[in-house]
Amino acid sequence: MLDAAAYRAGEATAKRAIASWRLANVNDPYVFQNQGFPVRTESFLDLAQILDTMQEERFDFYMGELGGFTDEETTEFVEVCLDYIDFYLKVFQRERVVIPLSTMIAHFVIYKKLCGYRPRFRRLLELGPGCGYLSFFLRHHQGLEDYSQVESTESFYLLQSHINTHIFGSRFAEHAISRAAFDDHNAFIPTLKWHNAFHYEQQKLIDVRRDAVCNHYPWWRLGDVAAKRYDIVTSNANLNEFSREALFQYLSLIRDVLADDGAIVAQCLGGGPPSYDSVFANMKQAGFVPAALVTGNNTPGRVFIVANAVFVGEKHPLYDRYADAAPKFPSLDRGLDFVNRMYFINEERKADRRIRSATDILDMIVDRVESAPR
């Protein structure tokens, strides 16, 4: 189980090995630091204050964006919330549970959009997972082979690690733990017995191979990510929060790892000072252009509480179509099936959908908790 001490030990070792303060500082979460966000944490108990954040008062908006829940989606969402409660009780050992409905539905909508772009995606890279709740929805994603996360904020990183341990168990690989902490030694093991033979016993060691489905990377292990390949990259609520140096570092990484027909899916472009136009210009310079842009109420029949975008790279079949177009909201090609699936424009089951309030969902959760065998 990763804690702050182990995280910082790995980070300190990496900074010494990198031997460049400029490269190490590229990934500092300066927007969070300037807002007083608890970037560092001294105890797992400190993580309770970031369980329901960044999406305050947005539950109804995301519910409206979906056009309501079907009965199946209602059941799925409630089950995920119950899974979260199980996680909370294990980690925080409190009977008064924080239920992050707004943050959880935001991640549910992200998951729906990812499935909209490629319903059977197998390899997903997420940059800046925040609270990390997408893991709850990926637990049962059919055919998932590699869900990789990259995070540079310590507090969020630790929360994500706890969640991934709960969700994926032994199929979760935590790459922030220093390899040197376990492997870099040459201790001499005595073979002579002294006056008390019970002081030491030769350890019995075996090697166990595991196939991790979830891989969690800190900023100093991006080189490991660069050796992989992904169907989709999702980067939510952070594209204008990166420093320009960090943005180009990650865009360079994405160019190397994104499948030719893959896409960058972003739900919210971030709350940093750079304008969206500057984000689009930087993306274009790195070889990515938006194939879809939506925000606010500029899409008939839908209201989007945050700006959404789908970016494609130079090798994508759609790149040439949008390469010379000036980015503007809305930008939606109704002839593209993935656009209709992602943004719920041609919803086939409108009659089956029902707007649920946060109170409705909370009542269902309470009913399930109270009826559970004790």
Count how many Cα atoms sit within 13 Å of the Cα of residue 110 in the half-sphere of its side chain: 30
pLDDT of residue 190: 72
Pairwise pLDDT comparison (191 vs 358), residue with the higher score: 358
User: Contact 174/212 with Cβ under 8 angstroms?
Assistant: no
* Fold of the 4-178+210-371 domain: Rossmann fold (3.40.50)
By CB atoms closer than 10 A (0-12, 13-18, 19+), residue 69 is: buried
Task: Give the type of residue at 370.
Answer: E
pLDDT of residue 199: 66
What percent of the residues of the chain are helix, what percent strand, and what percent coil, each to the nearest 5? 45, 15, 40
User: Contact 183/223 with Cβ under 8 angstroms?
Assistant: no
Res. 281: pLDDT tops 90: yes
User: Contact 55/106 with Cβ under 8 angstroms?
Assistant: yes
Buried b vs exposed e over 322-354: b needs ≥16 C-beta within 10 Å?
beeeebebbbbeeeeebbbbbbbeebeeeeebe
Mean pLDDT in residue range 178-199: 69
Q: Please, which residues have CB within 8 angstroms of residue 216's CB and are 6 or more apart in sequence?
A: 148, 149, 151, 157, 160, 161, 164, 172, 173, 174, 175, 176
pLDDT for 89-126, tens place per residue? 999 999 999 999 999 999 999 999 999 999 999 999 99
pLDDT for 219-243, tens place per residue? 999 999 999 999 999 999 999 999 9
* Dihedral pair phi/psi, residue 281, rounded to 5°: -65, -45
pLDDT for 36-75, tens place per residue? 999 999 999 999 999 999 999 999 999 999 999 999 999 9
Which residue in this structure is represented by tokens 């090697």? 207
pLDDT for 299-333, tens place per residue? 777 889 999 999 999 999 999 999 999 999 999 99
Instruction: Write the secondary structure of 190-214 as one string of H (helix), E (strand) and C (coil).
Output: CCCCCCCHHHCCCCCCCCCCCCCCE
User: In the chain, where are the structural domains located?
Assistant: 4-178+210-371
Task: Give the type of residue at 16.
Answer: R
User: Contact 149/216 with Cβ under 8 angstroms?
Assistant: yes
Q: Output the CA angle 250-255-261, nearest 5 degrees.
A: 130
- From the CB of residue 310, how many other CB atoms can be counted at a distance below 10 Å? 27
The closest alpha carbon to 79, from 132, 136, 119, belongs to: 136
Helices (H) and strands (E) in the chain, counts: 15, 8
